[in-house]
Amino acid sequence: MVDEFYSDINLELFFQWIVGNQNKYDQKMECFTTDIDDRGKKINFIYHNIKGAIVIWTSGIIEEQIVDEDENMLFYLHYQLVNLSQGQKLFYDFYEALTKHQKQFPVKIVLCCSGGLSSTFFATKLAELISLKHLNYEIIPIGFYQLDSSYLDCDALYLAPQISFLEPKAMNIVKNKVPVRTISASIYATYNYRGLLDMITKEDFSK
């Protein structure tokens, strides 16, 4: 009876600890609870396209699982809760997996020349190199006449050297919300795809 009493206390403490720390989780993470009859409690997590759940059963069993948007299982663990510190450690492992498994969207790079012809050719070859290196970049070739506010969601805009004089106008179009760079003629005119890729990979797109 004593062991059962302490087990019930640990389960409730564990539940309250997870729920009570919501303000410390990533701001983009949604966390809410649901009851499972009188058999236990469920804590739900939604993070971008990933869903997680921790079920605390009255029997003392804890189930942790993470699934993607197609309901594919990414993480599953069940264990007997022995004490609070054990549960906390395993929760941190669950939380790390939950945030790590979110879908990584590609970095969108717009490659712009005067009419879109040379940028299209350059982008095709650059995309092949990116694929070989298994990098997460999307290259979008356009002509300058196509540049408008619809490209505000891109991560960077690279101008061909022959339209470098249009850089101030480009910055105005994207409202200074997107980094605008001019590719040097020594890279663009010699079709130095590796040189441009090096230039791109040195950028910090996390800001």
Which tokens hold the place of 99? Answer: 């945030």
CA atoms within a 13 Å half-sphere pointing along the CA-CB vector of 16: 7
Q: What's the pLDDT tens digit per position in 135-193? A: 889 999 999 999 998 888 899 999 999 999 999 999 999 988 899 999 999 999 999 99
In contact, 98 and 51? CB cutoff 8 Å: no
Give yes or no for residue 1 having a pLDDT over 50. no
CA separation for the pair 64, 98 (Å, rounded): 11
> Sorting pLDDT into bands at 50, 70 and 90, what band is 7?
confident
Buried b (16+ CB within 10 A) or exposed e, 148-163: eeebeebbbbbbbebb
pTM over 0.75, yes/no: no
In contact, 109 and 158? CB cutoff 8 Å: yes
Mean pLDDT value of segment 112-120: 94
Q: What's the pLDDT tens digit per position in 53-74? A: 999 999 999 999 999 888 889 9
End-to-end CA distance of the chain: 55
